[in-house]
């Protein structure tokens, strides 16, 4: 079968456990072979949301399963088929900034966006083929603000879709040179909006700008890396699939450590593929041929933070760090301050209205920044310019859109 052939090509070379600076220890595993509730058949993708719900792409069972962080089964979405809401060998699952699921429905050559609880389809991205807006084998997804990046293994490129499902951009070409790809399988968004791609066929990780400009390549220690995720501090977690281990890198590509070896015991792997880090210091790894998910933990973070939910104070700090047109970040900070006062006075309706307005404003500011970058790009050579006291930096667009998403999530949590 085409999928099994691809995975076996990752290799099963015996790997020596890596002595890491960053020590992650085995916490638990869950799953087990089968097709029943909570059982797995070649799990390839994993994601965890801010409420601690773990979503697993149960690939050969053609469904997405939900668990809590302890591994307790909570439910499932989808079944085998080609209708909206059904799947064929889904490779990956992610949670967007609004809490919706993004599923790489690989066998159906599309990406579906669904409600995380009901499974109702909100949008379908792409269609089978090789032209613009077409997908041959989507294997990795990453939300970028309100947009979605999709890596297409067989077309060897990345496509960017807007919130309405329309194609915005595409980039990438096959090859071994820097900036070219060979069997790309996954991607993640790091600090400042940089896009990191698991370039499996070239045994490396490549870093690009959000617009697809090549920035760097690293990972000479890797063998067929198939999964990647960025932690909250920028640390990159890489599924070094051909070596049956996990590797850690800093955002500049320096190796920090790792763990794992071939096997079926705790902390051992037989094709690690999907990987997801949460803000409580846990790392979830799909151990594909062992039909389980393993959970590892950074003991220091586990002791200091167990919630991924941002407080209003967190949102205000994020707003103050923005770089918006005309120093408009001050307007956002003041607006969030008014939300705080409204909540203190019990004026929920006013607080909810202010949150909605602030989120909308951030989206408009991001649009303005993007327009300026498009207008000035090429005139100054590096995609950045200065004007009216602010920086036309692509990272500012991502930060503004991310904060807008966090504000919407906060509003939902408080009952707006």
What are the tens digits of pLDDT across the range 97-134?
A: 889 999 999 999 999 999 998 999 999 999 999 989 99
**Calculated CA dihedral for residues 25, 15, 175, 253, nearest 10 degrees:** 40
Q: In the chain, what percentage of residues exceed pLDDT 90? A: 65
Q: In what order do the strands lie in the sheet with 43-48?
A: 43-48, 53-58, 63-68, 73-77
Please name the residues in contact with 150: beta carbons below 8 A apart, sequence gap of 6 or more.
104, 111, 125, 126, 135, 138, 140, 141, 158, 159, 160, 161
- In the chain, what percentage of residues exceed pLDDT 70? 86
What's the chain's length in residues?
Answer: 416
Which pLDDT score is estimated for 382?
Answer: 43
pTM of the entire predicted model: 0.75
pLDDT above 80: residue 256: yes
Residues 83 and 240: their CA atoms lie apart, in Å, by: 34
**pLDDT at residue 50, as a whole number:** 81
pLDDT score recorded for residue 84: 95
On the question of pLDDT at 378 being above 80, the answer is no
User: How far apart are alpha carbons 84 and 61 in whole angstroms?
Assistant: 17
* Whole-angstrom distance, CA of residue 256 vs CA of residue 70: 27
Range of weakest confidence among 32-46, 170-184, 241-255, 386-400: 386-400
State which of 80-94, 222-236, 338-352 shows the largest mean pLDDT. 80-94
Looking at residue 131, its pLDDT comes to 87
Predicted confidence at residue 387, as pLDDT, reads 40
Phi, psi of 354 (to 5 degrees): -65, -40
pLDDT for the residue 363: 84
- Residue 301: per-residue pLDDT: 58
> Which of the pair, 204 or 304, is modelled with greater confidence?
204
pLDDT in the model for residue 300: 66
pLDDT at 309: 67
Q: What is the pLDDT of residue 180?
A: 97
Give the pLDDT score at 308.
62
pLDDT of amino acid 413: 80
In the predicted structure, residue 305 carries a pLDDT above the cut 50: no
State the average pLDDT over residues 370-374: 71
pLDDT of residue 21: 41
| pLDDT beyond 50 at 386 | no
Q: By three-state DSSP, how is residue 102 classified?
A: strand
- Per DSSP, the three-state class of 239 is strand
48-64: pLDDT as tens digits: 998 889 999 999 999 99
CA distance 197 to 340: 39
pLDDT at 73: 97
Q: Per-residue pLDDT averaged across 8-12, rounded?
A: 40
pLDDT for the residue 22: 58
């Amino acid at each position: 079968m085409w999928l099994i052939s691809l995975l076996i090509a990752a290799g099963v070379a015996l790997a020596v456990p890596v002595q890491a600076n960053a020590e992650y220890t085995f916490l638990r595993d869950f799953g087990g072979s089968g097709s029943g509730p909570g059982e797995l058949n070649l799990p390839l993708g994993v994601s965890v949301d801010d409420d601690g719900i773990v979503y697993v792409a149960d690939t050969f069972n053609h469904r997405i399963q939900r668990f809590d962080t302890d591994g307790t089964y909570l439910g499932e979405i989808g079944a085998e088929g080609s209708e909206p809401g059904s799947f064929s060998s889904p490779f990956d699952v992610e949670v967007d900034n609004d809490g919706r699921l993004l599923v790489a429905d690989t066998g159906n050559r599309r990406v579906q966006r669904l409600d995380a609880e009901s499974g109702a389809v909100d949008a379908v991205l792409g269609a089978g083929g090789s032209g613009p807006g077409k997908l041959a084998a989507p294997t990795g997804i990453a939300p970028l603000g309100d947009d979605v990046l999709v890596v297409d293994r067989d077309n060897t490129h990345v496509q960017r879709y807007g919130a309405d499902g329309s194609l915005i951009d595409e980039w990438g070409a096959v090859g071994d040179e820097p900036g070219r790809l060979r069997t790309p399988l996954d991607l993640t968004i790091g600090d400042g909006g940089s896009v990191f791609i698991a370039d499996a066929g070239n045994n490396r990780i490549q870093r690009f700008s959000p617009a697809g400009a090549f920035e760097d390549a690293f990972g000479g220690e890797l063998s067929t890396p198939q999964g990647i995720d960025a932690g909250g501090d920028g640390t990159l977690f890489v599924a070094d699939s051909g070596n049956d281990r996990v590797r850690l890198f800093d955002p500049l590509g320096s190796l920090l450590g790792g763990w794992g070896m071939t096997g079926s015991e705790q902390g051992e792997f037989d094709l690690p593929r999907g990987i997801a880090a949460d803000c409580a210091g846990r790392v979830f790894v799909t151990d594909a041929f062992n039909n389980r998910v393993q959970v590892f933990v950074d003991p220091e973070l586990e002791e200091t933070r167990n919630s991924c939910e941002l407080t209003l104070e967190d949102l205000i700090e994020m707003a103050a760090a923005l770089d918006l047109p005309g120093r408009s970040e001050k307007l956002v900070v003041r607006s969030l301050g008014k939300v705080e006062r409204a909540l203190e006075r019990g004026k929920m309706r006013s607080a909810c209205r202010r949150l909605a307005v602030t989120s909308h404003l951030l989206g408009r500011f991001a649009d303005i920044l993007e327009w300026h970058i498009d207008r000035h790009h090429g005139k100054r050579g590096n995609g950045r310019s200065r004007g009216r006291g602010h920086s036309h930096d692509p990272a500012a667009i991502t930060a503004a859109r991310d904060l807008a998403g966090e504000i919407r999530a906060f509003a939902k949590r408080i009952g707006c």
